Amino acid sequence: MHSDVSARLEITVIEPAKIVFAIAAAEGLAAHEGLSITVAGSKLEPTLLTDAHGTRLHEVHAPAGAMVLDYQATVTEVGPPSPVNSLDLIRYMRPSRYCESDTLSPTAQAEFVGLSGVDLLEAVSSWVGTRLDYIPGSSRPTDGAVSTLLAREGVCRDYAHLVIALLRAAGIPARMAAAYAPGLKPMDFHAVAEAYVDGVWNVVDATVLAPRQNMIRIATGRDAADTAFMDVLSGVATLDGMWVTAVTDQLATDDVRELVQLG
């Protein structure tokens, strides 16, 4: 597999700001890559931070002005499956900011009683996929799984949050992964769930908008609070424009019953 991915963000820094970006392919995946961050034409040197899952965060302290971030990478093969950590299996069973598995426990028990393993993954993915309408711009950044279920609509992160919450409520550790997704329409950063079944983390994507086999991991965490592509930690900055591309020379045909692992 040969995949090329890129992201361009245009940002107005209104007041000096500390900003963290999660836009780079996860550690060890990119064969070649480049990252440029400028404000008013002057280059900023980001600080690179890598977490236990290989998520690479780029932190900058930006002065006021027009910021442009450009990232490009080539991935020639997907890395090995994400390692399993016993503490993660506890962490990813707990309710989190956007995945209120405790609130949705009665729903999970009523809808998926008696199911386990791959049958449970398929049932949850199908249940979410048939109850939500994918509508770009339909959700707010603060919406969690419960709000999504009530609204019956959302985007990829909303689908993933609801899948994760239901799986946790049904007894399966689940987490979120942000990814570049060749074949995705409309093209954007993509969010999927990962569920721990048969000793590995398996991708669950209720949107079925792109082949899971071609996805390239960016970030991993409990939910969107851990995987956002841009966090303004202090100061004031607004996102004015974003362009994402992800193309590959071998676009897979995905079978939703197949267990697929993200590198």
H helices of the chain, where? 86-91, 105-111, 117-131, 145-151, 156-169, 224-227
Query: Rounded to an integer, what is the distance from CA 158 to the centroid of its chain?
Result: 11
- The neighbour count for residue 72, using CB atoms within 10 Å, is 16
* Residue 254 in domain: no
Residue 134 sits in a domain whose CATH number is 3.10.620.30
Q: Are residues 241 and 195 in the same domain?
A: no
Residue 243 sits in a domain whose CATH number is 2.60.40.2250
Report the C-alpha gap between 154 and 173 in whole angstroms.
23
User: In the prediction, which pLDDT does 52 show?
Assistant: 85
* Residue 255 in domain: no
User: In the prediction, which pLDDT does 232 show?
Assistant: 98
**Strand pairing category for 133-134 and 153-154:** parallel
| Closest to 175 in 3D by CA, of 101, 103, 104 | 101
**Does residue 229 register a pLDDT over 80?**
yes
| Closest to 166 in 3D by CA, of 234, 262, 233, 101 | 101
Q: Are residues 237 and 176 in the same domain?
A: no
Q: Are residues 204 and 169 in the same domain?
A: yes
Q: What is the pLDDT of residues 167-217, one digit of tens each?
A: 999 999 999 999 999 999 999 999 999 999 999 999 999 999 999 999 999
Report the C-alpha gap between 35 and 58 in whole angstroms.
10
Q: What is the pLDDT of residues 51-103, one digit of tens each?
A: 989 999 999 999 999 999 999 999 997 767 767 889 999 999 999 999 999 99
Dihedral sign (CA 236, 234, 145, 57): positive
Q: Are residues 131 and 153 in the same domain?
A: yes
In the chain, how many domains are there?
Answer: 2
Contact 12, 261 (CB under 8 A): no
User: In which band, very low, low, confident or very high, does the pLDDT at 256 lie, cut at 50, 70 and 90?
Assistant: confident
Q: What is the pLDDT of residues 91-127, one digit of tens each?
A: 999 999 999 999 999 999 999 999 999 999 999 999 9
User: In the prediction, which pLDDT does 257 show?
Assistant: 81
pTM, 2 dp: 0.95
Report the C-alpha gap between 201 and 204 in whole angstroms.
10
Q: Are residues 98 and 144 in the same domain?
A: yes
Q: What is the pLDDT of residues 231-243, one digit of tens each?
A: 999 999 999 999 9
* Residue 17 in domain: yes
Domain that holds residue 163: 86-225
